[in-house]
Amino acid sequence: MRIRKTASFAVLLVCAALAAVPFLWLIRSSLMRTDELFIFPPRIWPEELLWQNYADVFDIIPFARYLFNTLLILIPVMIGVVLTSSMCGYAFARLRFRFRNAWFAVILSTMMLPSAVTLIPTFIMWSELRAVNTFWPLILPAWFGGGAFNIFLMRQFFMNIPRDLDESAVIDGASFLQIYIRIMLPLVKPALTVVAFFTFMNVWNDFFGPLIFLNEDSKFTLALGLLQLKGMYATDWNLLMAGSAIMVLPAIAMFFIGQKYFIEGISLTGIKG
Amino acid sequence: MSKPASRKIALKKKEEIAGYLFALPAILGLLIWTIGPMVASLGISLTDWQILSAAKWVGFDNYRTVFTEDLFFKKSLLVTFYFAIGSVVFTMLASIVVALFMNYGVRGQAAFRTIFYLPTIVPIVASSMLWVWLFNPDFGLLNTVLKSVGLPTLMWIYDEATVIPSLILMSMWGCGSAALIILAGLQDVPKHLLEAVEIDGGNGWHKFRYVTIPMITPVIFFNLVMGLIGSLQAFAQAYVMTGGGPNNGTLFYVYLIYREAFQYNHFGYASALSWILFALIALLTAGVFKSSKAWVHYGGGK
């Protein structure tokens, strides 16, 4: 048993090293001089750490602007998703209304629908509304339940709350809105946090949406900005890696803040975030 | 009617209305963002529509062209399935291995969890950028390692023969989230079943084969389905890393749709392509579900 444990530890250590090495290569390259990147054989670690590369990224392209744009999308999306997914999760878990299960089943099945099917009409609709190249197409859909995954997740949490809680509140004459705000929401705070974290990651990572809907660089998000950097400085890998690191670090920071909730969320639902 | 009874009916009515009001965002969302566009897209797929001119009804011409004339369609389908199946299978194997070893109760489990999960939260544009650099034939990490141990170097994403395996390798880097899900499944395997195998004289392999594997098949199945649906829609890696090349070797299906719609303005044709993808995914999912009866074990639990 002891030997087996040690052997598993060794195997995991190797796997962990494989998982970590690309990160180290990212940091290493982001701190090198341009000529140092192309020395043969490649150097493992930079001679001196060139933090200037990070500042340069902000000088070359309006990265601060892109960050601001990303936040302009992120914040209203997070509010919309958390608010509406918890409302719908509450309805599907605890209120009895006609065709409830049928609606829920149809909504759940949209998880399997490839987004390419709805993409073109949605794009045409936004362009008819003259809203292409604005943030509306990226924000507004989040206010409609926040997607099947989040509704499902919220519903799972609401189902675990004991039934007599709302029943006794109803007998006391509370309205369903009061029950939702005063009794239910405080009890599902962990779920709200999980949803908020997943939403942060989705918006932060989103590439396809901004690529389709934003076409002026004053409107770009960080993801598009990074792509633009690649277009302009295709071989300056130190700058490209610094730019990538700038995008990765907030996501990692967010992960460490919400680690507990992330792990809870993925093992609860069995779905990748 | 007695008073409490009528009160009960009034309450039921109130609950009905409240239910619809609370679920309204999701119901409206379903109609506005899913069902409406689906119907529209089916209609558009029967037209020749280049955004500036008016749409022209062409019946099933787009579909006929896809199946009989479009050489990119065939190639795209081929590379998409090659990538999807490869990445789902290898990522799943890697995550099962990682989960099994973690389940031995090794020290530092929390640290391992974090390290394996981190790659999955890297934004796709950033990870694509990073991997282009790792794959660099002259100065990248991978060839440096190969050379240092005396192996021949590869062209990775710059050669049609190795580009898909390279992208599969990159997707295996993100096996951590599936590994954690499987680990959660493993930790739910009831101890008494494992002990029962021991009492009957079974060894470690028997425990694994007859208890552990059947117990985690629902988790594997679920991740297989979602993974397949997800990787059949891969786009960003190809867009950022290879531009669909070399020689259309990574012209993933969604990339093909993107190109037809947003670069050539063939909205009708792109809609037809998207419905074919939808049909394929639906068929495939149905097939996997059907096969699941043979190998997925649903225990007495939930």
Per-residue pLDDT of B278-288, as tens digits, reads 999 999 988 88
Q: Which residue did the predictor score with more confidence, A172 or A141?
A: A141
pLDDT band at A272 (very low <50, low <70, confident <90, very high): very low
Residue B1 clears pLDDT 60, i.e. is over it: no
Compute the average pLDDT of residues A156-164: 87
B261/A contact by beta carbon, under 8 A: yes
| Portion 34-63 of B in contact with A at CB < 8 A | 34, 36-38, 40-41, 44, 51
Nearest alpha-carbon partner for A157 in A202, A195, A197: A195
| Portion 43-82 of A in contact with B at CB < 8 A | none
Whether residue B101 sits in one domain with residue B9: no
- Tell me which chain A residue has its CA closest to the CA of residue B112: A16
Whether residue B104 sits in one domain with residue B229: yes
Closest Cα in chain A, distance from residue B18 (Å): 7
C-alpha span between B288 and B228 (Å, rounded): 10
Closest Cα in chain B, distance from residue A55 (Å): 18
Are B117 and B180 in contact, with CB atoms under 8 Å apart? yes
Task: Write out chain A residues lying below 8 Å of B141, CB-based.
Answer: 21-22, 25, 42
Closest Cα in chain B, distance from residue A262 (Å): 10
Total domains in chain B come to: 2
Closest Cα in chain A, distance from residue B135 (Å): 11
Q: Given this model, what pLDDT does residue B221 score?
A: 87
Q: Confirm whether B53 is domain-assigned.
A: no
Compute the average pLDDT of residues B12-33: 94
C-alpha span between A71 and A200 (Å, rounded): 10
Lowest mean pLDDT among A6-10, B10-14, B51-55: B51-55
Whether residue B152 sits in one domain with residue B40: no
CATH node for A61-232: 1.10.3720.10
Compute the average pLDDT of residues A219-239: 91
- Percentage of chain B beyond pLDDT 70 is 98
Q: Confirm whether B102 is domain-assigned.
A: yes
Whether residue B128 sits in one domain with residue B13: no
Q: Given this model, what pLDDT does residue A263 score?
A: 66
Whether residue B146 sits in one domain with residue B17: no
**A243 and B223 in contact by Cβ < 8 A?**
no
Average pLDDT of chain A to the nearest whole number: 90
CA distances from B148 to B49, B128, B240 (A): 55, 25, 29
Task: Write out chain A residues lying below 8 Å of B129, CB-based.
Answer: 226, 230, 240-241, 243-244
Whether residue B150 sits in one domain with residue B272: yes
Whether the complex's predicted ipTM surpasses the cut of 0.95: no
Whether residue B143 sits in one domain with residue B8: no
**A19 and B116 in contact by Cβ < 8 A?**
yes
Over residues B107-147, the pLDDT tens digits come to: 888 889 889 999 999 999 999 999 999 999 988 999 999 99
Whether residue B281 sits in one domain with residue B185: yes
- Looking at the DSSP bridge assignments, the partners of residue B56 are B48
pLDDT band at B36 (very low <50, low <70, confident <90, very high): very high
Whether residue B205 sits in one domain with residue B80: yes
Q: Confirm whether B174 is domain-assigned.
A: yes
Q: Which residue did the predictor score with more confidence, B302 or B211?
A: B211
Q: Given this model, what pLDDT does residue B216 score?
A: 87
C-alpha span between B122 and B127 (Å, rounded): 6
Torsion angles phi and psi, residue B50, rounded to 5: -105, 125
A14/B contact by beta carbon, under 8 A: no
CATH code of B134's domain: 1.10.3720.10
Q: Given this model, what pLDDT does residue A271 score?
A: 44
Q: Given this model, what pLDDT does residue A273 score?
A: 34
pLDDT band at B191 (very low <50, low <70, confident <90, very high): confident
A239/B contact by beta carbon, under 8 A: no
Of A20, A112, A243, the CB nearest to B281: A112
Compute the average pLDDT of residues B25-30: 97
pLDDT band at A54 (very low <50, low <70, confident <90, very high): very high
Q: Which residue did the predictor score with more confidence, A34 or A89?
A: A89
Over residues A61-83, the pLDDT tens digits come to: 898 899 999 999 999 999 999 99
Q: Which residue did the predictor score with more confidence, B95 or B215?
A: B95
Whether residue B161 sits in one domain with residue B23: no
CB atoms < 10 A from the CB of B8, how many?
11
Taking CB atoms within 8 Å and a gap of at least 24, the contacts of A99-102 are A100/B19, A100/B23
Q: Confirm whether B70 is domain-assigned.
A: yes
Over residues A169-197, the pLDDT tens digits come to: 888 888 999 999 999 999 888 889 889 98
Closest Cα in chain B, distance from residue A266 (Å): 7
Task: Write out chain A residues lying below 8 Å of B153, CB-based.
Answer: none
Residue B300 clears pLDDT 60, i.e. is over it: no
Compute the average pLDDT of residues A39-51: 85
Q: Given this model, what pLDDT does residue B252 score?
A: 97
Continuous H helices in chain A: 2-30, 34-37, 52-60, 63-94, 100-109, 116-128, 136-139, 148-159, 163-171, 176-178, 185-187, 189-205, 208-213, 222-232, 237-269
Q: Given this model, what pLDDT does residue A164 score?
A: 85
Domain residue limits at B224: 63-295
C-alpha span between A208 and B124 (Å, rounded): 10
Over residues A12-25, the pLDDT tens digits come to: 999 999 999 999 99
pLDDT band at A213 (very low <50, low <70, confident <90, very high): very high
Residue A203 clears pLDDT 80, i.e. is over it: yes
C-alpha span between A270 and B178 (Å, rounded): 8
- Percentage of chain A beyond pLDDT 70 is 95
Average pLDDT of chain B to the nearest whole number: 90
Residue B301 clears pLDDT 50, i.e. is over it: no
Q: Which residue did the predictor score with more confidence, A158 or A262?
A: A158
